[in-house]
Amino acid sequence: MKSKALVLRTVKYNDTSFIAHLLTEQCGCIGMMVHMSRSKRAAVRHTLFQPLTVLDLEWDERPRASLQRPKQAAVALPFTTLPYDSHKSAMALFLAEFLYHALKGDSDSGAVFAYVVRSLEWLDTCTKGYANFHLVFLLRLTRLLGFTPNLDEARSGCCFDLRSGCYTPSQPLHNDYLSAADAALLPKLMRMRYDNMHVFKFNGSERARLLERINLYYSLHLPGFPALKSLAVLRELF
């Protein structure tokens, strides 16, 4: 089997191997057991399996196995700034952790893979004005995962119910909602794109609050979605 693959996470298995969790273009999310060879001639260099590295990958597919084993691996898309810019690296590590936990279902893996890779390419080449990148990324990803916020009933003074994903004229009986003031921002947020997000001005505390509410929205729509460890780092930087 051959496919492009995005590394989401690696976990040490023993002294000579680790498990790589990958989003592939052809097969969705899979796990691979990767041997840590010191040979320069190895067909699979384990050092390539860094979070958010895009690989050309080949493996012998074993349908009944929970973990596959790679035969060949090479970098498919070399990044020039993501690994070296501290702010971009922090954002990339957050996205890697986020995607690892978010992409567990039966979403269209090809469309999701293409969206993620295009987004990373954009971030890699961008030189300024990308402080809202993670907000745009997360909001637009909801469309591919099937729970994009419903803006049809957006009205002044309405709250937004994060559980139902819809506007409501009265305050819900639970705490998972956006106040009327924050709900009024949602249509504006959903209009953000990578090429225009620099004109949407938020200070650090506003951006942190928005990220917290978006994260809550995901946790309500994805069973088992945990508190993200990298969220605190992102709040400090952006």
- CATH number, domain containing residue 59: 2.40.50.140
Q: Are 94 and 233 in contact (CB under 8 A)?
A: yes
Residue 18 lies in a domain: yes
- Of 75, 94, 123, which residue sits at a domain end? 75
Same domain? For 180 and 216 the reply is yes
What is the pLDDT, as a whole number, of residue 20? Answer: 97
- What CATH number has the domain bearing residue 91? 1.20.1440.120
Q: Is the pLDDT of residue 237 over 80?
A: no
Please check whether residues 44 and 16 belong to one and the same domain: yes
> Of 19, 54, 75, at which residue does a domain stop?
75
Which residues constitute the domain of residue 111?
86-237
Decide if pLDDT at 189 tops 70.
yes
Please tell me whether residues 114 and 48 are part of one structural domain.
Answer: no
Q: Is this structure's pTM higher than 0.85?
A: yes
pLDDT value, residue 204: 86
Q: Please tell me the predicted confidence (pLDDT) of residue 105.
A: 59
Same domain, 102 and 60: no
**Residue 210 and residue 102 in one domain:** yes
- What is the number of structural domains in the chain? 2
137 in the same domain as 46 = no
Let me know whether 200 and 229 are in one domain.
Answer: yes
Q: What is the pLDDT of residues 22-53, one digit of tens each?
A: 999 999 999 999 999 877 777 789 999 999 99
The residue from 42, 75, 108 where one domain ends is 75
Q: Is residue 81 part of a domain?
A: no
pLDDT number for residue 39: 76
| Residue 7 lies inside a defined structural domain of this protein | yes
- Grade residue 82 by pLDDT with cuts at 50, 70 and 90: very high
80 within domain boundaries: no
Q: Are residues 93 and 13 in the same domain?
A: no
% pLDDT > 90, the chain? 79
What confidence tens digit (pLDDT) does each residue in 60-73 have? 888 888 999 999 99
- The answer on 119 and 6 residing in a single domain is no
Q: What is the pLDDT of residue 109?
A: 82
**71 and 92 assigned to the same domain:** no
Mean pLDDT across the chain, nearest whole number? 92
Considering the domain architecture, whether residues 70 and 24 belong to the same structural domain is answered as yes
